[in-house]
Amino acid sequence: MRNPIATLRNRWSDSDARADGGEPASTRSFFDRDSVRSAPFWLPPFLLVGLFVYGAVVWNFLLSLTDFTGIGEPDYTDLDVENYFVAFADPVDGLLSTVGLGGEVQGGSPAWSELTVEPVWNSLGNTIALMVGFAAICLALGLVLAILVDRGIRFENTFRTIYLLPMSLSFVVTAKFWLYMYNPNTGLINIALGAVGIGPVQIVQNPDLKLGAVAFALIWQFSGYAMIVYLAALRGIPSSHFEAARVDGASTIKMYWRVIIPQLRTATVSALVVITVFALKAFDFLFSMYGGYQPGPSADILATRMVREAYANQNWAYGSTIAVILFVMALFIVAPYIYSQYRRGEL
């Protein structure tokens, strides 16, 4: 939202400038325009971002249309969308397998390879499963924690600090800790399971558990973040709302469900956006946990697949293609958010 006072004040200063003028008004107004006078401030960072972020995104899209496999220069004269057909080959079976119903997915054979190249369905399915599962539980846990911490407890700062602590760690460090937690002999998880008579359970390479194990570790790391966001939002709700609900005789749970939670929509959306984008970035975690580019089919997400295709298999163009898919997914999450921020005047 534009600040009305600021706008007004610029009008004034502009007219002042013109009034005492002497130079031709056209050049004057150009150099005096606030966009130009402020350019030394926003332009250099904008150019950096423009070149390294948006320039690279566009370049990456171009690369995804080539057949580049790392030898020689990419050939930008021969562009086609073949890689996208390979990535989404066999869409019917692919989509079925993505939701866990399908069987064999047939790959395609692009011009740059003599072999069949696997489509992205499997890693796409895992990515979506990880994003949804991780985000939902993260938000739910964060909300519950925020409500508990908001109940006027003692040592609130200490609890808050502890809950947010894992957020300061690197994905790489988290992976090392959880690889240890999941160890069948010495891991805390199996010691805990053993205490209630279960196990020991293989987790790290177990196809049924590994994606869940990854999600669990990520929840450990980021639910504190959801808590902090919700806590700030709860603090923003006038206490009269709490009291009004109490006077009506609503139980605590009803009060939160009917009165408070509906007011947390904004917080939920902003936490959700950030957390899903974290899930898109889980590459670091998987790379560290499995010591390389191969987390195995059950935990393979687009983020690992992309880096593996480009940097391990030297299928650069195909890696770029998967990167575009990731970018579009991020865009689908973020664009509505930014637009709504704009509509509400918060940009």
Partner 1 sequence: MSSDMNDDGLSRRTVLASAAAAGATGLAGCSSLTGGGTETDAGMSEIELLHAWSSGDGNAAIAALIEGFEEEHPDVEFAEEPVNGAARGNLDQVVSNRLQANDPPSTFQTWPGATLTKFGDAYADIEGEVWTDDLKENYLPGPKAQAQLDGTYVTVPLNIHRINNLFYNTAVLEEAGVDPESLSSPADVVDACAAVAENTDAVPFAQQTSGPWSTIQLWETVLLAQAGIDGYEAFIGGDGDVDQVRSALENVVELSEYYPSDASSISFTEANTMVMEGDAAFIHQGDWAAGAYSGDDEFNYGEQWGQVTYPGSEGSYLLNMDSFPYFDNNPSPEATKTFLSYCGTTDAQVRFNREKGSIPPRKDADVSELNAFQQDQYDDFTSADSQPPSIQHGLAVSPEIKTNITSAFSGFLEDYDADATAEALVGAFE
Partner 2 sequence: MSTADTDARLKRLGLYAVLVAMAGFYLLPILTGLFTSITSPESYTGQSPFLPPLEPLIAETGSLSLQPWGNAFDGLARGLANSFILVIPATILSGLFGSMAAYGLTNVDWRGQVGIYALFVAGIFIPYQAVLVPLTQFWYNVVPLQSLFAPFAAFPLVQAYHWKLVALIVTHTAYGIPICTLLFRAHYKKLSDEMIEAARLDGASVSTIYRRIVLPLSIPMFAVVFIYQFTQIWNDLLFALTIVQFGDASVVTQELVGIGVSQAGTNFPLRMAAALLAALPTLVVYVLFGDKFAEGVTA
Nearer to partner 2, 129 or 303 (CB): 303
Largest CA distance in the chain: 90
| C-beta separation of 125 from 98 below 8 A | yes
Residue 25 interaction partner, one of partner 1, partner 2, none, beta carbon < 5-8 Å per kind: none
**Binder of residue 296, out of partner 1, partner 2, none (CB less than 5 to 8 A by kind):** partner 1
The whole-angstrom separation of Cα 33 and Cα 341 is 27
Taking the complex as a whole, the smallest distance from the CB of residue 230 to partner 2 amounts, in Å, to: 10
- Residue among 10 and 109 whose Cβ is closer to partner 2: 10
Q: Which is nearer to partner 1, 221 or 315 (CB)?
A: 315
Q: Which listed range, 96-104, 117-125, 203-211, 276-284, lies at the site for partner 2 (CB under 8 A)?
A: 276-284
For partner 1, the binding residues in 184-223 under the rule CB under 8 A are 184-187, 200, 202, 204-207, 210
Structure-token match 């325009």, residue found: 33
Q: Which does 204 bind (CB under 5 to 8 A by kind): partner 2, partner 1, none?
A: partner 1
| Cβ proximity to partner 1, 119 vs 295, nearer residue | 295
Residues 55-74 that bind partner 2 (CB under 8 A): 55-57, 59-60, 63, 74
Residue 220 engages partner 2 in binding (rule: CB under 8 A) = yes
Q: Which of 30, 31, 52, 76 binds partner 2 (CB under 8 A)?
A: 52
Among 163, 171, 182, 287, binds partner 1 (CB under 8 A): 182
Ramachandran angles phi, psi of 301, nearest 5°: -115, 170
> What are φ and ψ of residue 108, in 5° steps?
-115, 165
Q: Does 148 bind partner 2 (CB under 8 A)?
A: yes
CB-based contact 209:133 (threshold 8 Å): no
On whether the CB atoms of residues 211 and 299 are closer than 8 A, the answer is yes
Q: Does 312 bind partner 2 (CB under 8 A)?
A: no
Among 129, 138, 203, 326, contact with partner 2 (rule: CB under 8 A): 326
Report the nearest approach of partner 1 to the CB of residue 74 (Å).
Answer: 9
By CB under 8 A, tell whether 72 contacts partner 1.
yes
Q: Are the beta carbons of 120 and 87 closer than 8 angstroms?
A: yes
Given the rule CB under 8 A, which of 99-107, 112-120, 146-154, 240-248 is the region that contacts partner 2? Answer: 146-154
Residue of 5, 114, 195, 238 that binds partner 1 (CB under 8 A): 114
Q: How many helices and strands in the chain, by DSSP H and E?
A: 18, 0
Contact 280, 303 (CB under 8 A): yes
Rounded to an integer, what distance in angstroms lies between the CA atom of residue 93 and that of residue 86? 14
Residue 199: other Cβ atoms inside 10 A:
16
* Residue 134 binds partner 2 (CB under 8 A): no
Contact range with partner 2 by CB under 8 A, out of 17-25, 97-105, 116-124, 303-311 = 303-311
**Beta bridge pairs of residue 108:** 117
Rounded Cα–Cα distance for residues 232 and 35 (Å): 35
**200/182 Cα distance (integer angstroms):** 10
- Shortest distance, CB of residue 32 to partner 1, whole angstroms? 48
The only residue of 27, 185, 239, 240 in contact with partner 2, by rule CB under 8 A: 185
The values of phi and psi at residue 124, to 5°, are -65, -45
**Nearest CA among 335, 323, 332 for reference residue 57:** 323
Q: Is the dihedral of CA 243, 245, 251, 255 positive or negative?
A: negative
Contacts of residue 110, defined as CB under 8 A and 6 or more positions apart, other chains included, come to 67, 82, 83, 86, 117, 318
Q: Among the candidate windows 84-92, 201-209, 239-247, 325-333, which touches partner 2 by CB under 8 A?
A: 325-333
Distance CA 169, CA 80 (A): 42
Binding region for partner 1 (CB under 8 A): 70-73, 113-116, 118, 179-180, 182-187, 200, 202, 204-207, 210, 290-292, 294-298, 311-314
